[in-house]
Each structure stands twice: as C-alpha cells, then as structure tokens.
C-alpha cells in the first residue's frame, strides 16, 4: 500500500490533518470541515480535517503523474453491448415502464502502484478545468478520487438548498437536439420532486431552465432547482431524498435504478456519486455529481487500477450509435489528459 497523507482539495482550498472518518451523515450537522465522498452504490465516507487553508492547485510536477498508456483503457461495456443496452431501454420506454435511463460504462487502465490522485488533480486542472473540481485522498479508507465535475449535485447555505442538473450534451450549441431539451426538462421535474420531499411547501423554484454552459470540448444544458429546507431537515434527510442524483439515474428514478442494475456490468463507485465538502461550522456545503471523475482502485494487493466513468441519458428519441458517441465525447478529452496525450494548444489529443 502506498503511504500518502490524507488530503482533500476543492478549488483553491486544501484540507489536511485528518481528525475523524465516519459513514454517518449526521456528522455533517456537527462541527468542523468535512470532505464527503458518496459512492453511487450508497457507501458514504465523511472525513473531518483539522487544518484548512487557501492554496492554489500546484502546477504539474515533472514525473508527478504517470498515467496509463492510451491504448490500455478497457470498457465494462463495449460498443456492441452499450448500443444493445440502449435498444433494451427503448423497449422499456415503449412499454411505459420508464421515460429516461442513464446508461453508463466504466473504463479502466493499470497505473503504477505509486500513483497519486493529487498529482492527477494538477494535470486535470491544467488540461480540463472544472467548476466543481476536487480531490479526496484517504488511502487507508479506500477513497482516492480526483474529479473534474461540471455538475452541482447539492449546494446548501443555511436553509437554502440548490441543485444544478445537467442533461443534454453536444460538441456545440448548434448540435443540441430536441431530445436534449426534453431530457433536461424531465430531470428537472424529478429533482423538483426529490428536493420537495425535504423543503417547505411552495418553496421549490426553477430559476434557470435549460441554460447552455460551455465546458472544455463540449456544451451542456444546465438547469437550477432551489428550495428552502423545512424545519428539522438537514444533510441526512437531504441526502436520503436526493441521492443518487436524478441526472445520472433517470425517470421515474425507481424504475431507472432497476433497469441500470440489470444492464450495467461494473459498479459505478464514486462515478455518479456525490463528491464535495461541508463546513458544518458555517452551515454551508457543496457536493458535485461525480461525473468526469477518476478513482484509483487498489483491491488487488500491490496493483493499482485507474477507473473513469462515462454515460448518456437514453430516451425514446435516442439513437444507439449516437449515444455511444456521446459517451466517447465525454471521455475522450479526460482520458487523453490522464494518459498525457492531450495538447494544451487546444488541438486535441496527440494520438
């Protein structure tokens, strides 16, 4: 096992001096600064740190991150399996069982045993900056995550809560389809329902619907859902109501979860979970949806595997090959950055 000090990094804030680790979300209502990692499958890790300071992400150090070879990535679902999954989801939609399902695949590649997600963070900050970028390094607890997430899962400031679901992805705004807008509206309705379970009646609003956001190499449709927590509701109730995020499950959520479980062949882990921080002393916090996320798996003694997830929202209007291409679009830049085949000049992958 590589011995690295526990650390969390969110933007220009870095936390060190691990004080406590728990899986109880009630801890987020106590005191201190917490790093939070929730796997899609439900495992929650909350780590309280003693020391929090402002510190920009360092520039990549020569030899600091040695990523996998570009040709070493393998996928839990190959092209044939993924497109068949899209067809099966459309059959479920045709029978009225579900309206939308997010179908994902996990890509994996071996890395050296001394691989460090904080070194990967420096590379990502240069090659794919993201509004909810973050790192949580807790090797002794099986959590080594570097995310370049563009999506807000939950933000809390006192009693005000907000979610920013992303649905609809294309290379340019002109390439967004009617299906992309329909996806977004369906998920906004689901998120309104989720947040409404723990918010005061009548307080849930949608300040922004289907706004176009530009990110490295692509554009997204992003909406904002906001509400006021009812009396007695806190992080445990909020997570219980909203997790996992609607944008990476589907609608209705219960049906989508069942179909995902039947079609996907690898656990999502931190991908599609929740990653972020909570300052319990100030009553504020921000969790990203764990998309555009890498994590190191050390399940095999003496070996390390880097994993990354990519998916797409499937509706009746989905074209199987088009959905496969969307997962390729979402993954291509990030995998190139992690494998050090991406040119900073904006020309794209070197090979």
Residue numbers annotated as active site: 151, 167
DSSP 275: E
Helices (H) and strands (E) in the chain, counts: 6, 20
**Which long-range contacts does 88-97 make (Cβ < 8 Å, 24+ apart)?**
88/263, 89/259, 89/263, 89/314, 89/318, 90/314, 90/316, 90/318, 92/255, 92/259, 93/314, 93/315, 93/316, 94/316, 97/255, 97/259
DSSP 266: S
Q: How far apart are CA 215 and CA 220, in angstroms?
A: 7
- Beta bridge mates, 15: 8, 52
Q: Is there a contact between 123 and 339 (Cβ–Cβ < 8 Å)?
A: no
Q: How far is CA 36 from the centre of its chain?
A: 13
Q: Which of 242, 237, 244, 295 is nearest to 272 (CA)?
A: 244
Q: How far apart are CA 286 and CA 35, in angstroms?
A: 10
Q: How far apart are CA 326 and CA 312, in angstroms?
A: 7
């Amino acid at each position: 096992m590589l011995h690295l000090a526990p650390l969390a990094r969110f933007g220009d804030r870095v936390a060190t001096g691990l004080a406590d680790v728990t899986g109880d979300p009630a801890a987020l209502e106590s005191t201190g600064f917490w790093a939070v990692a929730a796997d899609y499958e439900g495992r929650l890790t909350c780590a309280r740190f003693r020391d929090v300071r402002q510190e920009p992400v360092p520039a990549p150090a020569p030899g600091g991150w040695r990523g996998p070879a570009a040709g070493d990535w393998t996928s839990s679902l190959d092209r044939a399996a993924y497109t068949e999954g899209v067809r099966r989801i459309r059959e479920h939609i045709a029978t009225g069982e579900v309206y939308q399902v997010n179908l994902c695949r996990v890509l994996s590649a071996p890395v050296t045993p001394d691989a460090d997600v904080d070194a990967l963070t420096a590379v990502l900050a240069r090659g794919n900056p993201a509004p909810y970028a973050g790192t949580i390094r807790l090797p002794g607890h099986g959590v080594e995550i570097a995310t370049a997430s563009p999506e807000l899962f939950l933000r809390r400031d006192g009693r005000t809560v907000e979610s920013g679901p992303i649905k609809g992805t294309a290379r340019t705004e002109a390439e967004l389809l009617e299906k992309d807008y329909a996806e977004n509206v369906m998920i906004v309705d689901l998120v309104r329902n989720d947040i409404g379970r723990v918010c005061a009646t009548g307080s849930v609003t949608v300040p922004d619907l289907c706004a176009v956001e530009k990110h490295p190499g692509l554009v997204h449709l992003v909406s904002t859902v906001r509400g006021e927590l009812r009396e007695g509701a806190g992080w445990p109730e909020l997570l219980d109501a909203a997790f996992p995020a609607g944008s990476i499950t589907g609608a209705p959520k219960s049906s989508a979860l069942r179909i995902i479980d039947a079609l996907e062949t690898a656990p999502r882990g931190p991908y599609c979970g929740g990653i972020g921080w909570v300052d319990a002393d100030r009553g504020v916090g921000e969790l990203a949806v764990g998309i555009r996320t890498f994590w190191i798996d050390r399940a095999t003694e003496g070996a390390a595997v880097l994993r990354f997830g990519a998916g797409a929202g499937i509706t009746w209007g989905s074209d199987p090959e088009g959905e496969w291409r969307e997962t390729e679009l979402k993954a291509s830049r990030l995998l190139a950055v992690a494998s050090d085949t991406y040119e900073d000049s904006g020309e794209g992958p070197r090979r």
